[in-house]
């Protein structure tokens, strides 16, 4: 018997655990999930960046990325005029990337489990820094060895409009606003979908100042 009652109980939003929004078949936004972790996470992040500071990288196409990058974990993501790849050595310092700090790892593992991906073992954490105007063009993440592991992203600071596309570059994209403390988990069939970030608007975040920092945890090796 269709009607208001039936509609109420088939509403997708009502079938989600608190604060979990499904944006794809196997992709979830966990609103504010990282908020209780931020105080513990920021000193770890500062220590990582003191060792491997942000740098703007040049792509094989010759473009300088507007987001500045760093990494921690056994593997760090790098690009230069040659290729996009993961390395065990930070090319700027010619030293291993800083270790993945305990709180960061714990947050990523718990968020993955909350989205249905138990046993996540991240070995790479890419740190993206966006100042107002910085963006990330539509792309796929294809440099990881295995696509069965999910990707976990933690947004900090200024809000961003995330673009979530399909498996073809030309597929229609959905827009998802991401705020300070939001965590997104992508996995399974959604792992190779095109995605990007629209230019960040001017602003000053109470905790992070005039920037957005995104942490992306992956199993790369």
Binding status of residue 195 toward ligand MD3 by CB under 6 A: yes
From the list 153, 173, 211, 219, which residue makes contact with ligand MD3 (rule: CB under 6 A)?
Answer: 153
Please identify, using beta-carbon distances, which residue of 90 and 141 lies nearer to Fe ion: 141
d(CA 149, CA 196): 20
Fill in the per-residue mask, 40 to 69: x = in contact with ligand MD3 (CB under 6 A), - = not in contact.
------------------------------
**Smaller CB distance to ligand MD3: residue 105 or 195?**
195
**Based on CB atoms, which residue is closest to Fe ion, 100 or 184?**
184
Residue 1 beta carbon to ligand MD3: minimum distance, rounded to whole angstroms: 39
Stretch touching Fe ion by CB under 5 A, among 123-131, 139-147, 154-162, 176-184: 139-147
Q: Contact with ligand MD3 (CB under 6 A): which of 108, 124, 125, 151?
A: 151
Nearest Cα to Cα of residue 162 among 141, 138, 140? 138
Q: Which of 216, 217, 219, 220 binds ligand MD3 (CB under 6 A)?
A: 216
In the complex with ligand MD3, the residue whose CB is nearer, 67 or 105, is 67
Q: Quick one: which of 120, 193, 200, 220 contacts ligand MD3 (CB under 6 A)?
A: 193
3-state secondary structure the chain: CCCHHHHHHHCHHHHCCCCEEEEECCEEEECCCCHHHHHHHHHHHHHHHHHCCCECCECCCCCECCCEEEEECCCEEEECCCCEEEECEECCCCEECCCCCHHHHHHHHHHHHHCCCCCCCCCEEEEEEECCCCCEEEECCCCCCCCCCCEEEEEEECCEEEEECCCCCCCCCEEEEECCCCEEEECHHHCCCCEEECCCCCCCECCCECCEEEEEEECCC
**Residue 144 lies near Fe ion (rule: CB under 5 A):** no
Pairing of strands 76-79, 195-197: unpaired
219 binds ligand MD3 (CB under 6 A): no
Using CB under 5 A as the binding rule, whether residue 141 contacts Fe ion is answered as yes
Contact set with ligand MD3 (CB under 6 A)? 126, 128, 136, 141, 151, 153, 186, 190-191, 193, 195, 197, 214, 216
Contact set with Fe ion (CB under 5 A)? 141
């Amino acid at each position: 018997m269709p009607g208001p009652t039936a509609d109420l109980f088939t509403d997708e939003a009502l079938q989600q655990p608190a604060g979990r929004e499904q944006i794809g078949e196997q992709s979830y936004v966990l609103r504010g999930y990282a908020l209780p972790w931020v105080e513990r996470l920021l000193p770890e992040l500062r220590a990582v960046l003191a060792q491997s500071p942000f740098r703007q990288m040049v792509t094989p196409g010759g473009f300088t990325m507007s987001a500045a990058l760093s990494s921690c974990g056994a593997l760090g993501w790098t690009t230069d005029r040659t290729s996009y790849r993961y390395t065990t050595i930070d090319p700027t310092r010619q030293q291993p990337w800083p270790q993945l700090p305990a709180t960061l790892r714990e947050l990523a593992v718990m968020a993955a489990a909350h989205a249905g991906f138990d046993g996540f073992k991240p070995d790479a954490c890419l740190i993206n820094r966006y100042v107002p105007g910085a963006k990330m063009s539509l792309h796929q993440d294809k440099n990881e060895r295995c696509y069965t592991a999910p990707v976990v992203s933690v947004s900090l600071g200024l809000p961003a409009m995330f673009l979530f596309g399909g498996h073809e570059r030309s597929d229609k994209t959905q827009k998802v606003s991401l705020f300070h403390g939001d965590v997104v988990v992508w996995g399974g069939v959604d792992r190779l979908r095109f995605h990007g970030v629209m230019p960040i608007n001017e602003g000053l975040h109470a905790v992070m100042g005039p920037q957005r920092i995104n942490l992306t945890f992956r199993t790369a090796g």
